[in-house]
């Protein structure tokens, strides 16, 4: 396979009033992941020159399955995050700092400050 999953279509709209096809998940170590250009949330406009507009989901899936070895995708990069079932790779490339990257150092500083205060009080 091409190493990614899609959502959308005329019968399974991912975004209300939009029957476009979107990348929902990129499979780790799959062709799309190794290539690195496709991103989760990208809108796929065409496959090998074939427009994906107004296709049912299963017809779009069939186009991808029969795309061949050399596949050309025309995509539109997602500008802003959408609410919905788009997942993240889970490899730390979510586009921002994870909450843990902020909370862990702050928590460590707080624990160190409490420890210093307690040690200082014991010596008095």
pLDDT tens-digit profile of 2-61? 999 999 999 999 999 999 999 999 999 899 999 999 999 999 999 999 999 999 999 999
> Domain extents for the chain?
4-76
For 37-58, give one letter per residue: b (16+ CB within 10 A) or e: ebbbbbbbeebeeeebeebebe
The rounded mean pLDDT for the chain is 81
Q: Give per-residue pLDDT as tens, 16-28.
A: 999 999 999 999 9
Class of 4-76 per CATH?
mainly beta
Task: List the structure tokens of 55.
Answer: 């296709």
Q: How large is the average pLDDT for residues 58-86? A: 82
Whether the predicted pLDDT of 109 surpasses 90 = no
């Amino acid at each position: 396979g091409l190493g990614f999953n899609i959502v959308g279509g005329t019968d399974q709209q991912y975004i209300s009033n939009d029957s476009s096809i979107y990348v929902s998940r990129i499979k780790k170590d799959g062709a799309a992941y190794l290539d690195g250009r496709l991103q989760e949330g990208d809108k796929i406009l065409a496959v090998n020159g074939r427009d994906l507009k107004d296709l049912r989901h299963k017809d779009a899936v069939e186009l991808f399955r029969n795309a061949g070895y050399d596949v050309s995708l025309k995509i539109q990069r997602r500008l802003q995050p959408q609410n919905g079932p788009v997942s993240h790779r889970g490899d730390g490339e979510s586009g921002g700092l994870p909450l843990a990257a902020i909370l862990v150092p702050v928590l460590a500083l707080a624990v160190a400050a409490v420890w210093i205060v307690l040690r200082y009080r014991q010596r008095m």
